């Protein structure tokens, strides 16, 4: 597992999932709240993946140039960011246009009627 992640599993969970994952969640919310397109979440997740790799390298002597570690970090952060984006967009559509839409599940909305 260490060969894939470029670090140990507890470091991956602590840095990538908890610390940088919180930043990815907040990024997804910010992009959705400002009505920006979803591709910006993907772009920012790529940058957050670089930040996660650097923090793992600087704090825990993990492998800096681990391609599989970077890809796993980035995909994890992208999933967290896209989750927050869709959750926030669904909430925003229903709250901002209550006469047009009603909530449909956690991530969706539908036309009233």
Instruction: Indicate the pLDDT class of residue 36, thresholds 50, 70 and 90.
Output: very high
- Checking if the pLDDT of 1 tops 90, the result is no
- Is the separation of the CB atoms in 26 and 16 below 8 Å? no
Q: How confident is the model at residue 113 (pLDDT cuts 50, 70, 90)?
A: confident
Q: What is the pLDDT of residues 62-88, one digit of tens each?
A: 999 999 999 999 999 999 999 999 999
| 36-65 residues labelled b (16+ CB within 10 A) or e (exposed) | eeeebbeebbeebbebbbebbbeeeebbee
Q: What are the extents of the domains in the chain?
A: 2-111
This prediction's pTM: 0.92
Rounded distance, CA 44 to CA 34, Å? 15
- Helix, strand or coil for residue 38? coil
Residue-level pLDDT at 3: 86
pLDDT tens digits, residue range 47-69?
Answer: 999 999 999 999 999 999 999 99
What does the alpha-carbon distance between residue 14 and residue 9 come to, in Å, rounded to a whole number? 9
């Amino acid at each position: 597992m260490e060969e894939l992640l470029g670090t140990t599993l507890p470091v991956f969970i602590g840095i990538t999932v908890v610390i940088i994952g919180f930043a990815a969640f907040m990024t997804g919310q910010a992009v959705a709240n400002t009505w920006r397109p979803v591709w910006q979440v993907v772009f920012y997740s790529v940058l957050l993946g670089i930040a996660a790799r650097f923090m793992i390298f600087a704090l825990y002597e993990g492998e800096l140039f681990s391609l599989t570690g970077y890809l796993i970090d980035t995909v994890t952060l992208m999933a967290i960011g896209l989750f927050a984006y869709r959750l926030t967009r669904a909430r925003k559509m229903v709250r901002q246009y209550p006469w047009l839409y009603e909530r449909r599940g956690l991530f969706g909305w539908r036309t009233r009627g």
